[in-house]
Amino acid sequence: MNNTTTKKFSLGGWWARRREGSLVLALRGRCPPATAAAEQIPPAVRTAWAHHAPDEFPGLAIGDGAWLRCSLGLAQFFEACRLQREQGPCALPSKAADSVWHVWLKLDPIGLAEWQQRYFGRVVEHREYVDLGAPLDDCLARAWAGACRSEGHSPLGSKLPLLFALDGLLRLPTGWAYRLEKGALVHRQIDGFGQPSGDAFAHAAVAAGGLAALGLVSEAELAAQRRRQSDGGSSCGSSWDANGSCDASADGGCSSGSGCGGGD
């Protein structure tokens, strides 16, 4: 290997590290309460997750970047539940986030409950979606509204919050890839190659009318959206990348399913 080749490899590695560092900063800045909580997850949980989560979720990445995203996703879900506590239960839209929840429940349920109480003021019980006591689409809409607000933007906006983009970002087989299309949230299942596949299913409760009916958006937000539409304004709003920017060509953000959830 000559000096020119060595320099190319060194430069490539430097750019990769710099880009990953920028992505990490962007991820941690999306939802500060989730970041503060995720940073206090005991190391033993991460170790157990790396050993056991891929058994339940085949194809799940377990590197540093994957752990950061999964742990932040779970913490953001609990923050969304906190923000929507008065509205009702939330559905968890990410198997990647659920992978951390499952492992922690088996490893140390008492420690998990104490962590939840400390950072989110309550303990969110893990329930199958059929036990949430409310229509699944409504529960998903509450999770959507809470996750959007946890990142400081309106549920009527054009960005997917991390919680909804997570499985697509990790290309998790059997996970859920979500996407915003013409103001509506749709989903596809992620196939064994990490790509969204099959028919897309829309979530009416996450559209403007559904969110309004559930009391999840204000009249001011609806009025602002109407003004944008009447002005002919549009934003890219197809999916969300790890930098928090819109990318209409990205495929990593679309799916509908929810396997569990929590909240009162």
**pLDDT at residue 22 in the model:** 67
**pLDDT at residue 172 in the model:** 98
Instruction: State whether residue 5 is helix, strand or coil.
Output: helix
Q: What share of the chain is helix, strand, coil (3-state, %, to 5)?
A: 55, 10, 35
Q: Using one digit for the tens of pLDDT, what is the confidence trace for 122-163?
A: 999 998 878 888 999 999 999 999 999 999 999 998 899 999
| Dist. CA 123–CA 128, nearest whole Å | 16
Q: Using one digit for the tens of pLDDT, what is the confidence trace for 183-211?
A: 789 999 999 999 999 999 999 999 999 99
Quick check: 236 pLDDT over 70? no
Q: Residue ranges per domain, the chain?
A: 10-262
Q: Using one digit for the tens of pLDDT, what is the confidence trace for 88-111?
A: 999 999 999 999 999 999 999 999
By the 8 A CB rule, do 165 and 180 touch? no
Tell me which of 128-132, 165-169, 212-216, 219-223 is least confident. Answer: 128-132
Residue linked to tokens 């939802």: 31
9 versus 74: the higher-pLDDT residue is 74
C-alpha dihedral sign at 27, 144, 163, 132: positive
DSSP conformational letter for 174: T
By the 8 A CB rule, do 165 and 240 touch? yes
**pLDDT at residue 248 in the model:** 27
**pLDDT at residue 235 in the model:** 40
Quick check: 176 pLDDT over 50? yes
> pTM value?
0.82
The closest of 223, 202, 248 to 156, measured between CA atoms, is 223
